[in-house]
Amino acid sequence: MKDYVYDGSFDGLLTAIFHAYKEESPVKLLKELDYIPHLFNEKVTILTEIDKADRVYNSIYTKLSYDTLLNVYYLYLSDIQDIETLILDYIRLCFKYSDTINLAKNNDIIRSVDKYKRRVSGEAHLFTGLVRFKEITPLVFYAQIEPDHNILPLILGHFKQRFSDQHFIIHDLKREYAILYDLKEAYLHDLSLEEGRKLATLAAADSLENLFKSFYKATTISERHNERQQRSYMPKRYWKHLVEI
């Protein structure tokens, strides 16, 4: 078995797929970060090559479909260990049976793809609601999140459109990068935990937080108490950055 190790970028993944696709012996794709040397496996380091990545990208787009390409991208964003194996299996399956195989919702590979895609898009949707901004200076806002999946690229457009008249930063603490918006462009940029701590102290006293806390408390109907339902919609692991709880 060969271990194909790529740099963790989407283009890197597509380049790795390019090389793995013609490989006859079994291969495993891995991010550099996840790689642990294995006694019997040969390590092959994949250097990202944009033209090879583009070829894979375009052939999925034109020979299969935009939806299939989107599925691959969402799976990549899931950040789940060993998701690359599923991605490779999925692409092989689609090229073998043509894009209509996506209709076979009972196929185990298609089921897994649907499942993980739903998880990623579901979390992205949830976080359009769960991001909590703190005002660090007038009309400059900062928020910290720790999502399971790498959802920043998916929520960027939503926040850019909604808050087009205020500066904001949405900081993914797990992946140490952030969405930065400066009233013109929104882009993704590295942002360390240390810098995050500094920004958070600037926002320490925001009087609106207390108002929201009292609203949260007053709007609860105690006769209908149902914490299990609350947790099923909003799992506890997300509570850390919510000001109201």
Partner 1 sequence: MDIQEKLEILSGAAKYDVSCSSSGSKRSSKSGHLGSVSSSGICHSFTPDGRCISLLKILLTNYCIYDCAYCANRRSNVIPRAAFSVDEVVDLTINFYRRNYIEGLFLSSAVFKNPNHTMEMLTTVIQKLRTEKGFGGYIHIKAIPGASSELIDLAGLYADRMSINIELPSDYSLKLLAPDKKKEDIFNPMKQINTNILNYQEDRKKYKSTPTYVPGGQSTQLIIGATPDNDLNILSLSQKLYDKYDLKRVYYSAYIPVNTGLNLPDIKNPPTLREHRLYQGDWLLRKYGFKAHELLNEQKPNFDINFDPKTNWALSSLHLFPVEVNTAPFGTLLRVPGIGVRSAQKITSARRIAPLSYLDLKKLGVVLKRAQYFITCNTKYFGAVALDEDKIRTALKPKLDLNEVDNPYVQLSLFDKFSTSKLLLVGDSTSSVTGEL
What is residue 99's DSSP assignment? G
Find out whether 120 and 112 touch, Cβ atoms under 8 Å: no
Question: Tokens standing for 13?
Answer: 């993944």
Beta-bridge partner residues of 167: 140
**Which one of residues 38, 198, 225, 237 is an interface residue with partner 1 (CB under 8 A)?**
225
Residue 163 sits in the site that holds partner 1 (CB under 8 A): yes
- Applying CB under 8 A, among 24, 51, 129, 204 the residue interacting with partner 1 is 129
Q: Which is nearer to partner 1, 72 or 124 (CB)?
A: 124
The CB-of-203 to partner 1 minimum distance in angstroms stands at: 10
Residue of 45, 58, 100, 192 that binds partner 1 (CB under 8 A): 100
220 binds partner 1 (CB under 8 A): yes
Distance CA 127, CA 129 (A): 5
Number of neighbours of residue 158 by Cβ within 10 angstroms: 14
Nearer to partner 1 (CB atom), residue 10 or residue 212: 212
Are the C-beta atoms of 20 and 88 separated by less than 8 Å? yes
Tell me which of 43, 210, 237, 240 binds partner 1, using CB under 8 A: 210
Burial 82-118 (b: 16+ CB within 10 A, else e): ebbebbbebbebbbeeeeebbeeeeeeebeebeebbe
Please tell me the distance from the alpha carbon of residue 111 to that of residue 105, in angstroms, as a whole number: 6
Nearer to partner 1 (CB atom), residue 37 or residue 138: 138
Least spacing, CB of residue 155 vs partner 1, in Å: 11
Q: How many residues bind partner 1 (CB under 8 A)?
A: 56
Q: How far is the CB of 181 from partner 1 (least distance, A)?
A: 12
21-80 binders of partner 1 (CB under 8 A): none
- Calpha distance 92→20 (Å, rounded): 11
68 contact partners, CB below 8 Å, separation of at least 6? 60, 94, 99, 102
Amino acid (1-letter code) at residue 219 = T
Which of these ranges, 38-46, 48-56, 105-113, 193-201, lies near partner 1 under the rule CB under 8 A? Answer: 105-113
Token pair, residue 243, equals 């000001």
| Interface with partner 1, residue 164, by CB under 8 A | yes
Binding site for partner 1 (CB under 8 A): 100-101, 103-106, 108, 111, 125-126, 128-135, 139, 141, 143, 158, 161-166, 206, 208, 210-212, 214-230, 232-234, 242, 244-245
